[in-house]
Amino acid sequence: MGDSCGDGYRADGERPVHEVTISPFSIDATSVTNDDFARFVEETGYRTEAEDFGYSAVFHLYLQAEGGDLLGRPPQTPWWLGVAGADWRRPNGRNSSVDGLGDHPVVHVSWNDAQAYCRWASRRLPTEAEWEYAARGGLIGKRYPWGDELLARDGSHNCNIWQGAFPTANEGLDGWLATAPVRSYGANGYGLWQMVGNVWEWCMDWFDPGYYARSPKKDPAGPEKGSLKCLRGGSFLCHASYCNRYRNAARSSNTPDSSAANIGFRTVAI
């Protein structure tokens, strides 16, 4: 577990590389789709945090909203817009929908929303260690779920990220400007799809960049407490120039009530 290639961000705590032993587990082949999430909402009437707060984070190029919906943009990441009316059913704002996107990953779901879905489905989120083990697909110390090289030998793409100048010109050479259907590209050695790219995936653990230096060797499940939850795998907005986190070892985090157009999750059997 950890970054053995040397291309991690120091502040993310991808090192030291360390060996862990994980009890057998069964993980979803894909992230949870809009169709999956719609069944959950239909059965339970669940409202996501984005719906309760009345807004979520939309990437600037994909906005489909009314002028008054734009609530602001963080100074550090001005390509993210706070947009009133953006939620899992309207991922780019109130003038968008998930029509035709049933097999795309659900987005604008917070860690808390993912927990609620898991309770309904009698599932749970993976730990970071389980997620990384799953992403590696049986390969040891490789950068990506399929090996060390980003592109296949024939130049074809293995994952859904960003091509071009971030954050202004997405060339979409991998076939997708935003989310792709969950079974796009190829599965890894364990039959798992898009562990890297497409959408970030929530994990169960609290995030601590210092955790690897002191984590237990057997079934590490994260620090006892924290303020940020782990995210793994990167998304369709990742580019080497800005966010080289579409790698097995890459780590990120967000607060458990945060949602965005590029964050989803997959589940594990209890």
Say if residues 60 and 260 touch (Cβ distance below 8 Å). Answer: no
How near is the Cβ of 47 to Ca ion at its closest, in Å? 25
Report the amino acid identity of residue 159: C
Residue 34 has phi, psi (to 5 degrees) of -60, -40
158 interacts with Ca ion by CB under 5 A? no
Which among 21-29, 141-149, 158-166, 202-210 is the span making contact with Ca ion, rule CB under 5 A?
Answer: 158-166
Tell me if 137 contacts Ca ion by CB under 5 A: no
Distance CA 92, CA 142 (A): 34
Give the shortest CB-155-to-Ca ion separation in angstroms: 15
Q: Confirm or reject binding of residue 198 to Ca ion (CB under 5 A).
A: yes
**Which is nearer to Ca ion, 49 or 174 (by Cβ)?**
174
Residue whose CB is less far from Ca ion, 30 or 215? 30
> What does the DSSP assignment read for 203-244?
EEEEP-TTGGGT--SBS----S--S-EEEES--TT--TTT--
Stretch binding Ca ion (CB under 5 A), from 126-134, 139-147, 174-182, 202-210 = 174-182
Contact (CB, 8 A) for 255 and 206: no
Residue with CB nearest Ca ion?
Answer: 233
State how far the Cα of 131 lies from the Cα of 230, in Å rounded to an integer.
Answer: 11
Size of the site for Ca ion (CB under 5 A): 7
Tell me the window of 6-14, 93-101, 191-199, 242-250 that interacts with Ca ion (CB under 5 A): 191-199
Asked if residue 65 lies in contact with residue 56, where contact means CB atoms within 8 angstroms, the answer is: no
Rounded CA separation 81/67 (Å): 12
Q: Is 233 in the site for Ca ion (CB under 5 A)?
A: yes
Reference 66, options 84, 42, 89, 39; nearest CA is 84
Question: Between 128 and 174, whose beta carbon lies closer to Ca ion?
Answer: 174
92 contributes a contact to Ca ion by CB under 5 A: no
Of these, 160, 252, 258, 262, which contacts Ca ion (CB under 5 A)? 160
**Which residue type occupies 89?**
R
Task: List interacting residues with Ca ion (CB under 5 A).
Answer: 160, 174, 176, 194, 198, 233, 236
